Structure 1
Amino acid sequence: MKEEDKPFNDVIDHFNKIEGNATNPKNADFNKLPKPLKYIGYFMIAFFSISLILIIILSLLN
């Protein structure tokens, strides 16, 4: 195990073992997620983006 992959204390080590967290965010490959989960994420990002734009536009019109 590389020095950068080692947890800095026992609590983080326990959390990583129990919860199954990746020790390094670079290890998480989001391209391997199931397609329905990716589409839900895309939908949520699009929905919040469009909502924010509409709120800004409508607040400027008032």
Structure 2
Amino acid sequence: MSDKKPINDAMEHMSKIEGIPTDVNLKKLPKPLRYFGYFMIGFFTLSILFIMIANLLK
């Protein structure tokens, strides 16, 4: 478990039950999964920019 202290006992209990990962190193993911994540982030970023530019040109 990490060095971070929970806000209260209920949060600690929920994190133990739900199994929320606290220390995730994204650089250790498999390459296809990493590339898919990079693609999705890039796609959404470019989509938002395209929509903003399209709205300005109306």
Tell me the TM-score normalised to structure 1 length.
Answer: 0.67
Query: For structure 2, which runs of at least 5 residues remain unmatched after alignment?
Result: none
Within the alignment, does 1:14 sit opposite 2:10 as a pair?
Answer: no
2:33 and 2:9 mapped to 1: Cα distance? 32
Query: For structure 1, which runs of at least 5 residues remain unmatched after alignment?
Result: none
CA RMSD of aligned residues (A): 2.4
Deviations 1:3-60 (A, max 9, x none): 727x8343432222xxxx32x3xx2111100000010011011111111111111111
Which letter does structure 2 place at the counterpart of 1:45?
I
Q: What is the total number of aligned residue pairs between the two structures?
A: 54
State the percentage of identical aligned residues.
Answer: 37
Q: Which structure features the higher share of helix residues?
A: 1
1:3 and 1:52 mapped to 2: Cα distance? 35
